[in-house]
């Protein structure tokens, strides 16, 4: 099976890397195009895939076409490739905010369409990808896509109405977590810790805490309570975070992210 990528940026790299690591496809069965020759050369060098400077050719020669450009370029890319898209080809879109209805209308014909929302931790094999399909997609095709997206982390099918929420809680949230890690490290630096070590401690604490949520199944509130000894140091920090509205700030941030995604 030939898989074609239109766009070879961060996300495409994560997907291609995962697919190759898990032997889901061979490098010679992957085609890719980018805007600049330098990107194409770099990706060809890194993964040994075929690259062509022609999106129509990618669409014509691939059975599965992954649209991996920024949402703003979707109208021109779809216009460029739509005559090459036949009813047997599977389109996978990873764009934030572009609904299946919008994409179907842009192709102006019935297409097999899967919409995915990955995130950048995919680059280190710890991605979280939400997947939804239109009526033209078979169960086998959905499972193939889950295997593809599962090659670099978790992949879960959800109804499309939850896609904007998934975009906020996993697609965009790494940015908020990086801010949290940076802020914690700044706090440790203020307390005298060398900066490099502060990032390491902060990031490892976030990794460990996330693992505890996922692996123990214990409610995050209960895990928080377990760290807070009566009259201890941790509860003092919790009190300050509550006073400064940490939880409501995060909820509002996710709400703003969902709203923006709905407007794209």
Ligand X SMILES: NC(=O)c1ccc[n+]([C@@H]2O[C@H](COP(=O)([O-])OP(=O)(O)OC[C@H]3O[C@@H](n4cnc5c(N)ncnc54)[C@H](OP(=O)(O)O)[C@@H]3O)[C@@H](O)[C@H]2O)c1
User: Binding residues for ligand X, per CB under 6 A?
Assistant: 6-12, 33-36, 39, 55, 68-71, 73, 77, 94-96, 117-120, 171
Nearest-approach distance from CB 119 to ligand X, in angstroms:
5
Nearest-approach distance from CB 174 to ligand X, in angstroms:
7
Identify which of residues 120 and 200 has a Cβ nearer to ligand X in the complex. Answer: 120
Alpha carbon 249 to chain centroid distance?
A: 23
Across the strands, what pairs with 51? 32
Identify which of residues 47 and 73 has a Cβ nearer to ligand X in the complex. Answer: 73
Identify which of residues 36 and 204 has a Cβ nearer to ligand X in the complex. Answer: 36
Q: Judging by beta carbons within 10 Å of its beta carbon (0-12, 13-18, 19+), is residue 236 exposed, middle or buried?
A: exposed
Nearest to 127 by CA among 88, 163, 156: 156
Nearest-approach distance from CB 116 to ligand X, in angstroms:
8
- Full DSSP string of 189-219: HHTT--HHHHHHHHHHHHHHHHHHHHHH---
Nearest-approach distance from CB 63 to ligand X, in angstroms:
19
CA distance 155 to 125: 12
Please identify the residue of the shown chain whose CB is closest to the bound ligand X: 9
Number of helices (H), then strands (E), belonging to the chain: the values are: 12, 8
Identify which of residues 156 and 238 has a Cβ nearer to ligand X in the complex. Answer: 156
**Tokens standing for 22?**
């898990």
Identify which of residues 144 and 172 has a Cβ nearer to ligand X in the complex. Answer: 172
**Tokens standing for 119?**
């995130």
Nearest-approach distance from CB 225 to ligand X, in angstroms:
33
């Amino acid at each position: 099976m030939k898989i074609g990528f239109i766009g070879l940026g961060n996300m495409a790299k994560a997907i291609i890397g995962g697919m190759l690591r898990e032997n889901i496809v061979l490098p010679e069965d992957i085609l890719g195009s980018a805007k600049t020759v330098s990107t194409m050369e770099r990706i060809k060098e890194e993964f040994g895939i075929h690259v062509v400077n022609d999106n129509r050719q990618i669409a014509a020669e691939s059975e599965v076409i992954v649209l991996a450009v920024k949402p703003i370029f979707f109208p021109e890319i779809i216009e460029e490739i739509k005559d090459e898209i036949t009813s047997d080809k599977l389109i996978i879109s990873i764009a934030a905010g572009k609904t299946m209805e919008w994409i179907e209308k842009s192709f102006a014909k019935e297409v097999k369409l899967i919409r995915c929302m990955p995130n950048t931790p995919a680059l280190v094999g710890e991605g979280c990808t939400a997947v939804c399909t239109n009526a033209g997609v078979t169960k086998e095709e959905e499972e193939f896509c889950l295997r593809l997206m599962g090659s670099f982390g978790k992949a879960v099918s959800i109804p499309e109405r939850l896609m904007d929420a998934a975009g906020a809680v996993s697609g965009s949230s790494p940015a908020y977590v990086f801010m949290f890690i940076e802020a914690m490290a700044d706090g440790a630096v203020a307390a005298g810790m060398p900066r490099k070590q502060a990032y390491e401690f902060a990031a490892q604490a976030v990794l460990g805490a996330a693992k505890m949520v996922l692996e123990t199944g214990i409610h995050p509130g209960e895990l928080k309570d377990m760290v807070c000894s009566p009259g201890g140091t941790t509860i003092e920090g919790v009190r300050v975070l509550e006073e400064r509205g940490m939880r409501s700030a995060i909820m509002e941030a996710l709400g703003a992210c969902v709203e923006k995604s709905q407007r794209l």
